[in-house]
Chain A
């Protein structure tokens, strides 16, 4: 299939025609190309999410690789990295290959499995990282996300071990003893609500330790969902020293604060928790400065019964794939270069996903891209989302920017704002 995107604006540039042919960007008109009127639409390299929970295998009632892939494509993504905390855990070549194969079958985005660092996410014994790296899934990111690799010796060894195949450890930075029973950010609001606090220092202490470990062994480190102003300062110093560390921030940590816990509605319960306005401001600045490299959704679908309950009993996490770009647009405005870098180019580089995050102005670039209409606002309706779950914190919120079309290697996955399959 060939496409002509008529009058499209690549990253906000002057409108021009863009040709897609045989899976790549073409600089020549193609006979019989399907014409899409892209007047007023902005083309971005397809978004890449380095932190997605697709829940399959194990919790197919909350999400499947297929439903999550559809949500991703509708959110403008062409690649997502599927976290390892499934059931069974993605800690063997068998499970990561299963997830990879399910992603291929769904065919809506590239599903790149993340492998667990330790067997069963238990933090005790290193999983067969090499076998996952050598498998068909070609795993490069390893993470126990949901749990911190708290044991410093194990963390050091994992950082070292993955150098053999250019892997990276993505750390869920949460000192476990400091967060026992933790329910929300520790501060004024947790005191008022009588909910056990999750202190910022529990994140900052692990990041500080891990950047020192990564520096010591000369390895790459990636920090998941950075949530505090203090973490930003630790990262800023580490980067200034030349430590090979990258970091992500979620859309919700760029927008929402702990005050939202006041009604005890667990749709606002997430780990790490929503922080304060001061943290939100620091995270925004860090993303602008590049101290934080990427926006990652931490898309975490949960079944209704796991959220319609008491706060303390609810599972942490929120949906993210279908609202990420609109949230980033609402926070940063139409800074398309920033958006393309932090949501596509940089995450593709961190995940080693060649073919994503490419330059759309160059002929031959794989045609992984998405078209956004920045002039359209929409109201988030949980029931209208493609995810199997409904736990979005933005229900009823008006957000700017609508994804009109998404292309994966030249094939449309979304057209007219609807998934093609």
Chain B
């Protein structure tokens, strides 16, 4: 979309020129002339000189700030850098305020007020420009929203002006005899002009609002349609005035941008027919502009009237040989002619001779345009390069920088478009296709840009273009795999070396460098990340020093703060967050981030083992700082608001975080005060009128309101306001709604339970005496709820069951007896649901919920060591739905825990855990015995081995990306296979029996290790490693031979990281897939793999390796014909055990 933004309109200046100021000297007319030529710098210079001169009349001096403001306001269009634009607009505002303060009754004062609105409109345009910038895609909607905020403010000012001018105009008598009362007549004319101006301003605001939406958004068209109607109304009212014709022209422009070219052309044609006898300069100026707009329409894909443009533009240029052809419009017409010539030559049916002639003509025209500064400079520059290439008979790679630069520019545009498409792509197949194309284009663009830079002729080529090429390369590298450092280095080079010559490029480059270090950080192994952190901090420090007031700088500060937060350095994080100045829009967000950084670090550190845990003073300090920082943010925010102002979004969010922290600290009373106290309390902020639908996002959304009430419930329970707590529960249920078979309500209690579980763990780890109080308060509340007969329903019993379950899980590692007691109470609540459902089948809202209750009860029974009961329950589920993965895992875990807890008679339960109920007659280490038998009883419980195989198959089907949760489950299953095997081996009395089983366990680990990079890393790797060492230790201690050789030394598992630097330095999401690829390759199983379907091929390899590892033949047969998806749980409505919980086993 070509941006022909509406010009700011300033009519009072017209009056000014017509009035007294011009009579003295022509100072202001000269200033206007300079602005007219876009010599804004010299206009400001001249105004500064006037300011210093003593011979300048006072009336001229008085308006100098106003004139400066107008100059800055108009000149902002020529400033490239959005930061500088924003600064210039701020300066314009300051000059306007200075003028208004000194001259409140000046005739230009009302217009100065209107210009203040134009400043806001200018700010909105800057935001729109930011939103359209490819480097801001992540912030796009934020900039668009900000633009709309400015536009709303501008509209308010314009609307007020409109109402006042309208009132002033309508106060005049309908008829005034000019000859009898000239003053009254002139006053009415003046008010009419103001009134028309005000109407036009409002229509402009609507047009500008359209620009704040993507061209594909429905609002874009609807706003343009609205603007078109407003312009039409003005035209209808004042069609005999030139202002009416201007409104008509912009109505046409609206249609043009809406894609209704025919309508637009109709309007343009009508406008061009005016004044055929004689055209005054004003009408001619309007018609020249209309002519340009018409050419733009004719050059569209819809019309393709290129020949008409070539001819008519030629005629226009012939009849306007002087300064007009160099005016903005004249250059625009020349540019459209150049475009038409090129497009004409591009036509497939153009013969080669004509084509070359047309390209040459287009080149001449583009060069003519390119000689002059302005909005066509860049586009014509690119066209020159493009046309040179099209005329290049030699072919092959460019031979000079300009040609390569032009070629790279086109490729770069293509890359940017593809990035947009990838971002918006919904269909995975389509997305993959574009991603593949993008990868190819990124490489080619990088190649051409590198070539361009190698062809630079320092004496000839423009430094501006050279640096743009560097920036593009930096950008392209950023999106390429494994080029983060190249991107960062290039970005830093530009940022540091050319901060004066190309400040706008330098800032963007610096920011990109910082992002590139961030990307490198993500891709690097944990122990090699410090360098990225250092570099990131370094470049951010530089950004802050060079561009201290830039919005980008504040974004950079927040990014570095977040990075420190992530690596658990809250003090450093807070230091960066708190560098964001109070005047910045990100300030409060930064304060909240700082508060959170302290809290998260406290929360994480407080659950560390005692030897690794920071001292209590440190923990307390973080805790207090978290609270204090957020309180400060809220106090500052509230101070900015009038007392009776409604709750503010930022304040509400800050309060919510603070309440979470206060609840975590056990200061429930304070939490309650923030939640419910005062006119801007959290509960007030999230409240909606009865029957009003909650919005999808924002503080009144369901998600946020629900989170607020969970905190309230927590506080109420904390202070033992049980009735209030029940009220909060009811409100929570209201917020979530009652549909969906109770799923929504259940989800609330699950979330609550998890939060509580974390808290309990934290308190327990820290030996915090508050633990007893927390447990007591919950016990009291839950028992009260459980024992209450009145109002007892499914939701309240689920709440009791889930909360006891969560408490039990939280206490399990530190206080087993108490945990078992809570499991019992959870089980009782869940059993109570089943009992009531037996009497009233509708008591449980859905079948899925019933299954889920049964599952959770089974888990409780297992935790209570009632293994037979647990198995019974889970078997019931599996008989009905054998492919329910969570039930299969639970069943395997029951056997595993049973084996661990049982006596000598339960040894074979290890086998059952590994092989499921097939193992009833089988021994786990014998491959032969796992073959299916025709008369075998139904295979209900799979055991860990088959679970692992099925998950492997499932991963195999994820052709493009590897689901990390699925991989975790896979590793969990594989770990338990090895663990159960080890335990089973350890239970053997003889070395002969023990050796093959332990060997098999070792093999389980090695196979898994060869398939998964670093075995999931972190805790997952450590867990495998510990088991590996335990097995080796057993071989060593017992003098057993592993694969025929004694074990002399206990070694760690090899850490397999970055096997291939070119493949593994990408974002962490890619890591599992790559590692699997790599290892599968090393296993030399999957030799044939197609590059384009690596994911699939490698997972096939994985399955084959697993099959080869033991028992696979049977499973290969078993899985044939089955549905691929291992997890077909239909449990959306039911309480689900958290996926993460699956990583824990009772026995471990």
* Chains A and B are bound partners: no
Interface residues of A (CB under 8 A from B): none
